[in-house]
Amino acid sequence: MKKLNVVIIYDKKEENILMCKRAKEPYKGKYNLVGGKLEEGETKLQGAYRELQEETGISKKDVKLKHLMNFQYQMQNMELEVYVGKLNKEVELKEEVNHLQWMNKNENFFDLQKYAGEGNIGHMVEQVECYKEKLFK
Protein backbone atom coordinates (compact mmCIF):
# COMPACT_ATOMS: atom_id res chain seq x y z
CA MET A 1 0.00 0.00 0.00
CA LYS A 2 1.33 3.44 -0.97
CA LYS A 3 1.91 5.67 2.11
CA LEU A 4 1.29 9.42 1.98
CA ASN A 5 1.02 12.17 4.56
CA VAL A 6 -0.48 15.62 4.94
CA VAL A 7 0.34 18.14 7.63
CA ILE A 8 -2.05 20.71 9.08
CA ILE A 9 0.00 23.63 10.42
CA TYR A 10 -1.57 26.36 12.55
CA ASP A 11 0.18 29.66 13.16
CA LYS A 12 1.29 30.52 16.69
CA LYS A 13 -2.01 32.32 17.46
CA GLU A 14 -4.12 29.37 16.16
CA GLU A 15 -5.90 31.72 13.74
CA ASN A 16 -4.56 30.54 10.37
CA ILE A 17 -3.78 27.25 8.62
CA LEU A 18 -0.95 26.87 6.11
CA MET A 19 -2.06 25.80 2.64
CA CYS A 20 -0.26 25.31 -0.66
CA LYS A 21 -1.72 26.11 -4.08
CA ARG A 22 -1.20 23.02 -6.24
CA ALA A 23 1.01 23.62 -9.27
CA LYS A 24 0.21 20.24 -10.86
CA GLU A 25 -2.47 17.59 -11.03
CA PRO A 26 -4.29 16.26 -9.19
CA TYR A 27 -6.15 19.37 -8.05
CA LYS A 28 -3.98 21.82 -10.00
CA GLY A 29 -4.82 25.39 -8.98
CA LYS A 30 -6.63 24.39 -5.77
CA TYR A 31 -5.42 24.82 -2.22
CA ASN A 32 -4.24 21.75 -0.36
CA LEU A 33 -2.34 20.82 2.76
CA VAL A 34 1.40 20.24 2.52
CA GLY A 35 2.66 16.66 2.47
CA GLY A 36 3.87 13.88 0.25
CA LYS A 37 5.13 10.33 -0.02
CA LEU A 38 6.82 8.31 2.68
CA GLU A 39 10.35 7.32 1.69
CA GLU A 40 11.80 3.87 2.28
CA GLY A 41 13.41 3.47 5.69
CA GLU A 42 11.76 6.42 7.42
CA THR A 43 9.02 6.30 10.01
CA LYS A 44 5.69 7.93 9.23
CA LEU A 45 6.42 10.79 11.62
CA GLN A 46 9.90 11.32 10.11
CA GLY A 47 8.26 11.46 6.68
CA ALA A 48 5.80 14.13 7.85
CA TYR A 49 8.60 16.30 9.28
CA ARG A 50 10.72 15.82 6.13
CA GLU A 51 7.88 16.79 3.77
CA LEU A 52 7.00 19.79 5.93
CA GLN A 53 10.58 21.06 5.89
CA GLU A 54 11.06 20.41 2.15
CA GLU A 55 7.85 22.19 1.16
CA THR A 56 7.81 25.06 3.67
CA GLY A 57 11.14 25.41 5.49
CA ILE A 58 9.38 24.66 8.79
CA SER A 59 11.55 22.34 10.87
CA LYS A 60 11.09 20.08 13.86
CA LYS A 61 12.34 22.86 16.14
CA ASP A 62 9.48 25.13 14.94
CA VAL A 63 6.56 22.76 15.57
CA LYS A 64 5.61 19.55 17.36
CA LEU A 65 3.54 17.29 15.12
CA LYS A 66 0.86 14.97 16.47
CA HIS A 67 -0.86 12.16 14.62
CA LEU A 68 -4.52 13.05 14.04
CA MET A 69 -6.00 10.31 11.83
CA ASN A 70 -5.55 8.02 8.84
CA PHE A 71 -7.55 7.54 5.67
CA GLN A 72 -7.36 4.30 3.70
CA TYR A 73 -8.31 4.39 0.04
CA GLN A 74 -8.74 0.74 -0.89
CA MET A 75 -9.40 1.32 -4.62
CA GLN A 76 -6.20 3.35 -4.89
CA ASN A 77 -4.17 1.05 -2.62
CA MET A 78 -3.20 4.11 -0.59
CA GLU A 79 -3.04 5.19 3.05
CA LEU A 80 -2.96 8.86 4.04
CA GLU A 81 -1.67 9.81 7.49
CA VAL A 82 -2.72 13.19 8.85
CA TYR A 83 -0.53 15.17 11.26
CA VAL A 84 -1.22 18.48 12.97
CA GLY A 85 0.91 21.06 14.73
CA LYS A 86 0.98 24.65 15.94
CA LEU A 87 4.03 26.83 15.34
CA ASN A 88 5.91 27.76 18.49
CA LYS A 89 7.32 30.95 16.88
CA GLU A 90 7.05 33.07 13.76
CA VAL A 91 8.77 31.49 10.76
CA GLU A 92 9.85 32.56 7.30
CA LEU A 93 8.25 30.24 4.77
CA LYS A 94 10.36 28.81 1.95
CA GLU A 95 8.35 27.60 -1.03
CA GLU A 96 9.58 24.49 -2.83
CA VAL A 97 7.17 24.07 -5.78
CA ASN A 98 3.73 25.16 -4.62
CA HIS A 99 2.80 28.70 -3.55
CA LEU A 100 2.20 28.84 0.23
CA GLN A 101 -0.55 30.87 1.85
CA TRP A 102 -2.05 31.23 5.30
CA MET A 103 -5.84 30.76 5.34
CA ASN A 104 -8.09 31.79 8.20
CA LYS A 105 -9.19 28.71 10.16
CA ASN A 106 -12.84 29.75 9.67
CA GLU A 107 -12.66 29.40 5.88
CA ASN A 108 -15.07 26.95 4.26
CA PHE A 109 -12.57 24.14 3.64
CA PHE A 110 -15.44 22.10 2.15
CA ASP A 111 -15.53 24.47 -0.87
CA LEU A 112 -14.58 22.07 -3.69
CA GLN A 113 -14.05 24.97 -6.11
CA LYS A 114 -11.22 26.28 -3.93
CA TYR A 115 -9.88 23.31 -1.95
CA ALA A 116 -8.57 19.89 -2.98
CA GLY A 117 -9.54 16.62 -1.36
CA GLU A 118 -13.27 16.19 -2.01
CA GLY A 119 -14.14 17.70 1.38
CA ASN A 120 -11.49 15.83 3.36
CA ILE A 121 -9.69 19.04 4.32
CA GLY A 122 -12.86 20.41 5.88
CA HIS A 123 -13.35 17.19 7.83
CA MET A 124 -9.75 17.20 9.06
CA VAL A 125 -9.93 20.83 10.20
CA GLU A 126 -13.20 20.13 12.03
CA GLN A 127 -11.49 17.29 13.89
CA VAL A 128 -8.57 19.52 14.88
CA GLU A 129 -10.97 22.18 16.14
CA CYS A 130 -12.79 19.55 18.25
CA TYR A 131 -9.58 18.25 19.86
CA LYS A 132 -7.37 21.37 19.88
CA GLU A 133 -6.85 21.37 23.62
CA LYS A 134 -5.41 17.84 23.50
CA LEU A 135 -3.45 18.42 20.29
CA PHE A 136 -1.83 21.74 21.20
CA LYS A 137 -0.92 21.29 24.86
pLDDT (tens digit per residue) in 47-80: 999 999 999 999 999 999 999 999 999 999 999 9
Closest residue by Cα to residue 51 from 117, 7, 103, 100: 7
User: Which pTM was predicted?
Assistant: 0.96
- CA–CA gap between residue 94 and residue 81 (Å, rounded): 23
Domain boundaries, given as residue ranges, for the chain: 2-135
Closest residue by Cα to residue 4 from 53, 101, 73: 73
Query: What is the chain's mean pLDDT, rounded?
Result: 96
Q: Which residues contact 35 (CB under 8 A, 6 or more apart)?
A: 4, 5, 6, 7, 48, 51, 52, 55
**Architecture of the domain defined by 2-135:** Alpha-Beta Complex (3.90)
pLDDT (tens digit per residue) in 37-50: 999 999 999 999 99
